Amino acid sequence: MAKEKSLEVEQITNQPVLNIGMAGHIDHGKTTLLYQLTGKWSDTHSEELKRGITIKLGYADSVIKRCEKCGMLTIKDKCECGGNAVPLRYVSFVDVPGHEMLMATMLSGAAIIDAAILVIAANEQCPRPQTKEHLVALDLKGISSIIIVQNKVDLVTEEEAIKNYNQIKEFVKGTIAEDAPIVPISAQQGVNIDMLLEEILRLKIPKRNTEANPIFMVARSFDVNKPGTNGSSIFGGILGGILKQGKLNVGDEIEIKPGMTSKKHNETIFTPLITKISGIQSGKNRLNEAIPSGSLSIQTSLDPMLTKADSLAGCVVGLRGKVPDAISILKIKATLFKEIIGEEKKSEEELRVAPLKMNEPLMISVNTTITVGFVAKMKGDMIDLTLKTPVVILPDTKIGLARNIQGHWRLIGHGEVLK
Ligand code: GDP
Ligand code: ZN
């Protein structure tokens, strides 16, 4: 990695500087585009929803480079013209593979995205329901760094592309994406990807708070040992996720909440874990100290049995003694939309969001967890939810609320956590 080189956009560090979320209606080309942007197919993970519901976020990192010879932007080391490509910006993409129905909930609640790429297919009417739903979710979360990608332009005539472009313009009018650039591309044919890379280079990097108590959100957890490994060659449990604030160092003593799950008399019990950081990795780079940005893997001294198969996904990590306890009863002030957004071809009556009901299950997203909460108490818009999985509440946590409507979870509103 060209660590020391001073470059025109920014110093290339050994960590990504931005987390970019992929959004858009199903089949509009998110996965295909992610491949163009990273050279990797995001692993689709398994579809099962565990422990209540835990979403396995996919990450793929990329270094955007410029060809020294012809000036083209690329993610490859060598440009098509044969010239050398020089690194400009290191970014991380976040995907919610295979869970389009959950993405809106995720986007509106997840605390891990700095910017978003909204993929819209040029060969369909705009907006499709999830396009609308995802934009509302971004709006709720206050993510204004948005790039709109008009994909599949290879399937339409120039005239149709212009018509679609105007529909997109009309759709985003008055929303958080009003001034977002619209980049026409073909993800499948790899057309205009360099224009999109240019826009990614223009995205603003948010100010990070490196002085605060470290807060790391676990999105994945692994056991990287091959079956049969034993003794001193065993790697401790690995946590993958995002450092929201503060710094983490190799050697730090950390705690993980809500922690390990176990069953006792048919009840799920959560036990916080305490361990030590034995290594930190960002992409291929080993770090001694990590600052907020991009996705990280933290190697711990935990028994890898405890981290295997994403068993700690959704947990919050901080220095020992500094992580608030996880709670199972969440008090929120709920705001419901007037109508359901992620649906189409329904009558006004069918689209109306009915008031919350006692005991009804809602899908909520907090940090990197998506869980089910049952309405346990209602007083006007003040709601108590009993959660299937306890969550650690951090300041400024925003919560997306989704309701199951005919087998699909639909974003119906949002919640503010009450103290
Ligand atoms: P996702 O559901 O948003 O992740 O969409 P995918 O990336 O899986 O794409 C859905 C389908 O559209 C696949 O069959 C892709 O090959 C196809 N596709 C994606 N981008 C393009 C494009 O730019 N042009 C054409 N013709 N097809 C595309
Ligand atoms: Zn070149």
pLDDT tens for residues 9-51? Answer: 455 667 888 989 888 988 899 889 999 999 876 544 333 333 3
Q: What's the CA gap between 109 and 142, in Å, rounded? A: 10
* Closest ligand (CA of 98): 1
CA distances (Å), origin 127, targets 117, 165, 400, 405, 418? 15, 11, 21, 20, 34
Q: Name the residue of 22, 32, 44, 45 to mutate for ligand 1: max ligand atoms within 8 A of Cβ.
A: 32
Greatest C-alpha distance within the chain:
68
Q: For residue 40, give the 3-state DSSP assignment.
A: coil
For residue 256, the CA-to-ligand 1 centroid distance in Å is 39
User: From the CB of 24, is ligand 1 less than 6 Å away?
Assistant: yes
Query: Does the pLDDT of residue 2 top 80, yes or no?
Result: no
For residue 27, the CA-to-ligand 1 centroid distance in Å is 6
Q: State the pairing for strand pair 267-282/73-74.
A: unpaired
Ordered structural domains, the chain, with CATH: 18-202 (3.40.50.300), 215-319 (2.40.30.10), 327-417 (2.40.30.10)
Q: State the pairing for strand pair 73-74/182-184.
A: unpaired
Query: How is residue 267 written in tokens?
Result: 């009840």
Mean pLDDT of 402-418: 85
User: From the CB of 28, is ligand 1 less than 6 Å away?
Assistant: yes
Q: What's the CA gap between 197 and 309, in Å, rounded? A: 34
Provide the percentage of residues in the chain whose pLDDT is more than 70: 89
User: From the CB of 30, is ligand 1 less than 6 Å away?
Assistant: yes
Q: Does residue 328 or residue 407 have the better pLDDT?
A: 328
Q: Does residue 384 or residue 231 have the better pLDDT?
A: 384
How many residues can be counted in the chain? 419
* Closest ligand (CA of 150): 1
Q: What's the CA gap between 262 and 271, in Å, rounded? A: 8
For residue 188, the CA-to-ligand 1 centroid distance in Å is 7
10 Å CB burial of residue 361 (0-12, 13-18, 19+) is middle
For residue 82, the CA-to-ligand 2 centroid distance in Å is 6
Ranges of beta strands (E only) in 108-214 are 115-121, 146-151, 182-184
Ranges of beta strands (E only) in 337-407 are 361-366, 369-379, 382-391, 398-405
Query: So what's the pLDDT on residue 325?
Result: 94
Q: Which residue has the tokens 């980049």?
A: 183
Q: What's the CA gap between 95 and 44, in Å, rounded? A: 9
Residue 279 CB contacts under 8 Å (≥ 6 apart), including other chains = 250, 286, 298, 299
CA atoms within 13 A on the CB side of 383: 28
Query: Does the pLDDT of residue 109 top 80, yes or no?
Result: no
394, 346 in Cβ contact below 8 A?
no
Band of the pLDDT at 105, cuts 50, 70, 90?
low
Query: So what's the pLDDT on residue 227?
Result: 80
Q: Which residue has the tokens 């560090």?
A: 13
For residue 3, the CA-to-ligand 2 centroid distance in Å is 22
Residue 176 CB contacts under 8 Å (≥ 6 apart), including other chains = 135, 138, 139, 142, 143, 144, 146
Q: What's the CA gap between 84 and 123, in Å, rounded? A: 36
Q: For ligand 1, atom 19, which residue shows the shortest CA distance?
A: 29
User: From the CB of 29, is ligand 1 less than 6 Å away?
Assistant: yes
* Closest ligand (CA of 22): 1
Q: What's the CA gap between 1 and 177, in Å, rounded? A: 34
User: From the CB of 27, is ligand 1 less than 6 Å away?
Assistant: yes
User: From the CB of 155, is ligand 1 less than 6 Å away?
Assistant: yes
For residue 183, the CA-to-ligand 1 centroid distance in Å is 16
Ramachandran region of residue 37, left (φ > 0), alpha (ψ -120 to 50) or beta?
A: alpha
Q: For residue 44, give the 3-state DSSP assignment.
A: coil
Query: So what's the pLDDT on residue 363?
Result: 87
User: From the CB of 293, is ligand 1 less than 6 Å away?
Assistant: no
User: From the CB of 130, is ligand 1 less than 6 Å away?
Assistant: no
User: From the CB of 397, is ligand 1 less than 6 Å away?
Assistant: no
Closest atom, ligand 1, to C-alpha of 151: 23
What are the tens digits of pLDDT across the range 222-276?
888 888 777 777 889 999 988 989 999 999 999 999 999 888 888 888 999 999 9
pTM (predicted TM-score): 0.86
For residue 29, the CA-to-ligand 1 centroid distance in Å is 4
First to last CA, the chain: 45
For residue 5, the CA-to-ligand 2 centroid distance in Å is 20
10 Å CB burial of residue 263 (0-12, 13-18, 19+) is exposed
Q: State the pairing for strand pair 267-282/408-417.
A: unpaired
Band of the pLDDT at 280, cuts 50, 70, 90?
very high
DSSP letter for 313, please.
T
Lowest mean pLDDT among 108-117, 119-128, 197-206: 108-117
10 Å CB burial of residue 216 (0-12, 13-18, 19+) is buried
Q: Provide Rg for the chain, Cα atoms.
A: 22
Query: Does the pLDDT of residue 204 top 80, yes or no?
Result: yes
Query: Does the pLDDT of residue 103 top 90, yes or no?
Result: no
Q: What's the CA gap between 38 and 29, in Å, rounded? A: 14
CA atoms within 13 A on the CB side of 211: 1
Identity of the amino acid at 288: N
